[in-house]
Amino acid sequence: MRMGGSLAGPVALVAAVCLLLPAASLAQLQVGFYNTSCPNAEALVRQAVTAAFANNSGIAPGLIRLHFHDCFVRGCDASVLLKVNPGGGSTERDAPPNNPSLRGFEVIDAAKAAVERSCPRTVSCADILAFAARDSVNLTGSNAFYQVPAGRRDGNISRQDDALDNLPGPNSTAHNLTDGFGRKGLSAEDMVVLSGSHTIGRSHCDSFLFKNRERLASGTISPAYQALLEALCPPTTGQFTPNTTEIDLSTPTVLDNNYYKLLPLNLGLHFSDDQLIRNATLAPLANSFAANETLWKEKFLAAMIKMGNIEVKTGSQGEVRLNCSVVNPASSSSSAEIEMLMFPGGTTSDDAPAEDVVATS
Ligand code: HEM
Ligand SMILES: *[C@@H]1O[C@H](CO)[C@@H](O)[C@H](O)[C@H]1NC(C)=O
Ligand SMILES: *[C@@H]1O[C@H](CO)[C@@H](O)[C@H](O)[C@H]1NC(C)=O
Ligand SMILES: *[C@@H]1O[C@H](CO)[C@@H](O)[C@H](O)[C@H]1NC(C)=O
Ligand SMILES: *[C@@H]1O[C@H](CO)[C@@H](O)[C@H](O)[C@H]1NC(C)=O
Ligand SMILES: *[C@@H]1O[C@H](CO)[C@@H](O)[C@H](O)[C@H]1NC(C)=O
Ligand SMILES: *[C@@H]1O[C@H](CO)[C@@H](O)[C@H](O)[C@H]1NC(C)=O
Ligand SMILES: *[C@@H]1O[C@H](CO)[C@@H](O)[C@H](O)[C@H]1NC(C)=O
Ligand SMILES: *[C@@H]1O[C@H](CO)[C@@H](O)[C@H](O)[C@H]1NC(C)=O
Ligand SMILES: *[C@@H]1O[C@H](CO)[C@@H](O)[C@H](O)[C@H]1NC(C)=O
Ligand SMILES: *[C@@H]1O[C@H](CO)[C@@H](O)[C@H](O)[C@H]1NC(C)=O
């Protein structure tokens, strides 16, 4: 991508623009990618997400985080959805940052089933996940809508170690966070902006309790808040507990800028959240988002699109997975055979719950 300084005119302008973009965004995703090949695709995904959200509003934060954890590990290629790595070994899905806290897999499966019935072998799982995250933003925000450039192809590798190496953890310092996002072509500002997702959703005790005892000692968490968390969580470390708490303690189901307002009150839940106001580079950004919700939301929607571009596979790379949990069979010559393998119960029967999802399209 390095280019010399001798180019002139429009070529130089294009080159200059290219140099400013992260490599990943050069891949050609397009808004309306399925306009002709599957015009109902986005509506069907939206229907599945809306139905699941009506039953359990936690699905929205779950799907937004699922998309993030997909994109940060081998790019946005639905590798996080795989239950089996064809090469053997543990998958991303098995990795501690994902298992057992990640949620929303069954919503992607329901959306995929609906989309496959409408247009078989056409819409990738990675795109379905990107659409579902967008719909989740739309369901929890106000005036929160963005067009999702699509055309992602699905990968066929999923390794636990890749998840451990690429997903930022709640004990991350400002430096760790900025560095980790930088490796994905995202800026420090993108990192602060996207952390605002923590204005919805929940967290498990092992993500915050013990590290926050150190924060209590250093005066960077409200003692009353930590006391509340101590009461909620079993006191001993080392063992997973299902107990969770809302990350944004005052407006946990609304995609607003309240997350940033809590930080200076020493009410950020994770050490990593608190880091955003302890660092001289990051704090002014967090404070500007606390002061201006419109500013944050504009940047948030743009940053979600940018995140959705990370290291995407397009064109003939990868594949369109038929079942989001497993890669397609290696010898995919006979499509009837694939249908048999991937949908043993048939695609038009024995699938009542997913059928309900499409009924009103
Ligand atoms: C900046 C680095 C980040 C760190 C260290 C981080 C860490 C975490 C942790 C520890 C949890 C709680 C998991 C649990 O114990 O259940 C969580 C939840 C969540 N994260 Fe992040 N996160 C980061 C960035 C992001 C980004 C970029 C997004 C989305 C764009 C995101 C979206 C979410 C959402 C929506 C939840 C709630 C999930 C649910 O309710 O199921 N996070 N995050
Ligand atoms: C799909 O249709 C929409 C609305 O007409 C349009 O904005 C978009 O550019 C189209 N995309 C493609 C790839 O055809
Ligand atoms: C509704 O949500 C609950 C969890 O809150 C889940 O156990 C159940 O399977 C969901 N039902 C449907 C039909 O999605
Ligand atoms: C959802 O998106 C639509 C545009 O399709 C927009 O009109 C609406 O305000 C959004 N809803 C919320 C709650 O953001
Ligand atoms: C943060 O970065 C430091 C220095 O590179 C490293 O030693 C540490 O393991 C990282 N911590 C986390 C939680 O990523
Ligand atoms: C974070 O740090 C605490 C306290 O040092 C430790 O108990 C916990 O296991 C760490 N959590 C993670 C996810 O590394
Ligand atoms: C953890 O959650 C369980 C189930 O909701 C609850 O019974 C328990 O009181 C909570 N707290 C502790 C400290 O285990
Ligand atoms: C603040 O974060 C930046 C990364 O955005 C890092 O380069 C810098 O070292 C951090 N400053 C301190 C004092 O930790
Ligand atoms: C808040 O941000 C928006 C969007 O950037 C901007 O138009 C507006 O002027 C800002 N409001 C204030 C009070 O600064
Ligand atoms: C994974 O996909 C690539 C093409 O994208 C293909 O060459 C390779 O054989 C596939 N591997 C497996 C295990 O399916
Ligand atoms: C997808 O594959 C998984 C794992 O093999 C299987 O359990 C599931 O039933 C399949 N889904 C469909 C719709 O066939």
258 CA from centroid of ligand 3 (Å): 28
Binding-site members are 70, 73, 75, 77, 79, 92, 168, 198-199, 248, 251, 256
pLDDT, tens digit, for every residue of 212-256? 999 999 999 999 999 999 999 998 866 779 999 999 999 999 999
Give the per-residue pLDDT at 143: 86
Please give the CATH number for the structural domain made up of 189-305: 1.10.420.10
Terminus-to-terminus CA distance in the chain, angstroms?
45
Please identify which of the residues 67, 69, 175, 204 carries the catalytic annotation. Answer: 69
pLDDT band at 27 (very low <50, low <70, confident <90, very high): low
353 lines ligand 2 (CB under 6 A): no
Helices 188-195, 293-307: crossing angle, 10 deg rounding:
110
Give the per-residue pLDDT at 109: 98
Q: Which two tokens stand for residue 65?
A: 């985080």
166 CA from centroid of ligand 11 (Å): 27
Least distant ligand from the CA of 134: 4
Secondary structure (3-state) at 131: helix
- Residue closest by Cα to atom 1 of ligand 11: 323
Binding-site members for Ca(2+) are 70, 73, 75, 77, 79, 92, 199, 248, 251, 256
Give CA–CA dist 269/259, Å, rounded: 10
Give CA–CA dist 304/280, Å, rounded: 25
167 contacts 97 by C-beta, under 8 angstroms: yes
Q: Whose CA is closest to 129, among 247, 41, 36?
A: 41
Give the per-residue pLDDT at 28: 87
Strands 202-204 and 149-150, by their bridges, are unpaired
| For ligand 8, mutation pick of 173, 176, 281, 282 (most atoms within 8 Å of CB) | 281
* Residue 24 pLDDT exceeds 50: no
Binding-site members for heme b are 198
Q: Which residues, judged by CB distance below 6 Å to any ligand atom, belong to the binding site of ligand 9? A: 292, 294-295, 298
Same CATH topology for 10-168+311-356 and 189-305?
Answer: no
* Residue 293 pLDDT exceeds 80: yes
Q: Whose CA is closest to 204, among 105, 270, 273?
A: 270
Q: Residues 281, 283, 286, 292: is their CA dihedral positive or negative? A: negative
172 lines ligand 6 (CB under 6 A): no
Give CA–CA dist 332/323, Å, rounded: 13
48 contacts 139 by C-beta, under 8 angstroms: no
Give the per-residue pLDDT at 20: 45
What string of DSSP letters covers 310-352? Answer: TT---TTSSB--SBTTBPPPS----HHHHHHHH-TT-SSSS-H
Is there a catalytic annotation at residue 69? yes
Give CA–CA dist 141/197, Å, rounded: 11
Secondary structure (3-state) at 105: helix
171 CA from centroid of ligand 5 (Å): 9
Considering the chain, what percentage of its residues have pLDDT values greater than 90?
81
Secondary structure (3-state) at 192: helix
pLDDT, tens digit, for every residue of 94-150? 999 999 999 999 999 999 999 999 999 999 999 999 999 999 999 999 889 999 999
Q: Which two tokens stand for residue 80?
A: 């996080």
| For ligand 11, mutation pick of 82, 325, 350, 355 (most atoms within 8 Å of CB) | 325
Least distant ligand from the CA of 243: 7
Least distant ligand from the CA of 143: 4
Give the per-residue pLDDT at 301: 98
pLDDT, tens digit, for every residue of 323-354? 999 999 985 544 444 445 455 444 433 333 33
Which CATH number is correct for 10-168+311-356, 1.25.60.10, 1.10.520.10, 1.10.1040.10, 1.20.1440.130? 1.10.520.10
204 lines ligand 6 (CB under 6 A): no
Domain boundaries in the chain? 10-168+311-356, 189-305
Strand partners, 204: 244
30 lines ligand 2 (CB under 6 A): yes
240 lines ligand 7 (CB under 6 A): no
56 CA from centroid of ligand 3 (Å): 6
Least distant ligand from the CA of 176: 5
pLDDT, tens digit, for every residue of 46-58? 999 999 999 999 9
Q: Whose CA is closest to 288, among 248, 256, 253, 261?
A: 261
Give CA–CA dist 281/98, Å, rounded: 29
CA within 13 Å, CB half, 47: 20
Considering the chain, what percentage of its residues have pLDDT values greater than 70?
83
Average pLDDT of the chain is: 88
352 lines ligand 3 (CB under 6 A): no
